[in-house]
A = this chain, B = another copy of it.
Amino acid sequence: MSGSLVVVGTGPGKAELMTPATHAALARATDLVGYGPYLDRVPALRGDQCRHASDNRVELERARHALALAASGKTVAVVSGGDPGVFAMAAAVFEALEQGDPAWRTLDIRVEPGVTAMLAAAAEVGAPLGGDFCAISLSDNLKSWTVIERRLAAAADADFVIALYNPASKARPHQLARAFDLLRALKAGETPVLFVRAAGTDEAEVVATTLAAADAAVADMRTLVIVGASTTRQVGRWVYTPRSERGAAS
């Protein structure tokens, strides 16, 4: 098959946080496929480019459509925000590939890495991801809440810094509060908690608080939440996790 498909991420928001490799892949594409608001971030790069915007939460359908376009000979870019491999479209594309026409597996398929939300959020506040860390999506659309609770408990037990993606949506307003309750039983009340909204955009906002005081209502769909490790601490207006844990409580 002569078509190709590249999965890209536009980064956290600002154009200056999109890599040149992603920009070049977008400029080569004849067809852009993605969730509307992400496609809107892509500047008009050529006149003959066709945009296929879709709603949120139809990732698999969107991925199939992109693969079918590529199979028909198009040069397709599937557009995510952030990094396409982290809670975004790349996994959906390979899922659709696995379930779809076996001939699709001969397509030229690539993934371009990008700046994922937790890195932009961390940069807004200092260096909270300076030690070992984990990333957990709080959405229970695709996994059970039991699995999420088990991961939160393991992360607390292992003293990982915890980055929480998808902490809240209109359909799921209570999960972050439940996560905080669970973590409060396992971690110190003074553990730093960071709500970073619209990280990597000009509207970035940070609320720095503690686990004891953290109010889940602060988070919305554009928020990334970081819960510190036992060593995470404040210096001036920054929060960071030291590289060294020698001498730290373990």
Chain A interface (Cβ < 8 Å from any Cβ of B): 7, 11-12, 14-21, 24, 59, 83-87, 90-95, 97-98, 105, 109-116, 119-120, 122-124, 126-137, 142-144, 146-147, 150-151, 153-155, 157-160, 200, 233, 235-236, 238, 240-246, 248, 250
Q: Is the CB of B97 within 8 A of A236?
A: yes
Instruction: Report copies per complex.
Output: 2
Contact B155 A127 (CB under 8 A): no
Selected contact of A132 from candidates B14, B136, B153, B242, CB within 8 Å: B136
Q: Are B143 and A246 in contact (CB under 8 A)?
A: yes
Looking at chain A's contact residues, is the secondary structure mostly helix, strand, loop, or mixed?
Answer: mixed
Q: Give the distance in Å from the alpha carbon of A200 to the alpha carbon of B12 in the complex.
A: 20
Q: Tell me the nearest residue of chain B to A236, going by C-beta.
A: B105
Is A18 within 8 A of B17, CB to CB? no
Residues of B within 8 A of A17 (CB): 19-21, 113
With beta carbons under 8 angstroms apart, the residue of B114, B115, B142, B240 that contacts A244 is B142
Report B-chain residues with C-beta under 8 Å of the C-beta of A137.
132
Given contacts A85-B130, A91-B240, 6 further A-B contacts (CB under 8 A): A85-B122, A90-B127, A97-B236, A134-B160, A142-B246, A151-B158
